[in-house]
Structure 1
Amino acid sequence: MNHHNQMFNYHFWANQTLLNHIKELPTTVMQEEVNTSFPTIAQAFGHIYAVESVWYRVLNGVQMQEALEICMPLEKETLLHSADHFANDFAQLAAKYKEWLQDQDNLDRTILLENPYAGTRETRLSEIVLHVVNHGTYHRGNVSTMLRQLGHASTMNDYSLFWYQEAGDSINL
Structure 2
Amino acid sequence: MTHPALEMYDYHVWANQTILNRLKELPQDVYNKEIQSVFPTISKAIAHIYLVDACWLDILSGKSMKEAMADSAPLTAGVESKGMEEMEKLYVQISERFKTLLNQQENMEKRIMLDNPYAGQRDTSLSEMVLQVVNHGTYHRGNITAMLRQMGYASVMTEYALFWYS
TM-score (norm 1): 0.92
Q: Aligned partners of 2:81 and 2:102: how far apart in 1?
A: 31
In structure 1, the gaps of 5 or more residues are 166-173
Q: Aligned partners of 2:88 and 2:17: how far apart in 1?
A: 6
Residue of structure 2 equivalent to 1:171: none
Contact 2:56–2:129 under 8 Å retained in 1: yes
Q: Aligned partners of 2:146 and 2:158: how far apart in 1?
A: 13
Residue of structure 2 equivalent to 1:90: 91
Residue of structure 2 equivalent to 1:111: 112
TM-superposed deviation, 1:124: 0.9
Letter of the 2:111 counterpart: T
Contact 1:54–1:72 under 8 Å retained in 2: no
> Structure 1 stretches (4+) deviating beyond 6 angstroms?
none
Instruction: Indicate the SS of the match to 2:157.
Output: coil
Q: Aligned partners of 1:42 and 1:31: how far apart in 2?
A: 6
TM-score (norm 2): 0.95
Contact 1:12–1:94 under 8 Å retained in 2: yes
Q: Aligned partners of 1:148 and 1:102: how far apart in 2?
A: 37
Residue of structure 2 equivalent to 1:34: 35
TM-superposed deviation, 1:138: 0.2
- Find out whether 1:21 has 2:30 as its counterpart: no
Instruction: Indicate the SS of the match to 1:81.
Output: coil
Q: Aligned partners of 2:161 and 2:77: how far apart in 1?
A: 33
- Find out whether 1:12 has 2:13 as its counterpart: yes
In structure 2, the gaps of 5 or more residues are none
TM-superposed deviation, 1:13: 0.3
Residue of structure 1 equivalent to 2:131: 130
Computed over aligned residues only, the root mean square deviation of the Cα atoms, in angstroms, reads: 1.0
Contact 1:111–1:122 under 8 Å retained in 2: yes
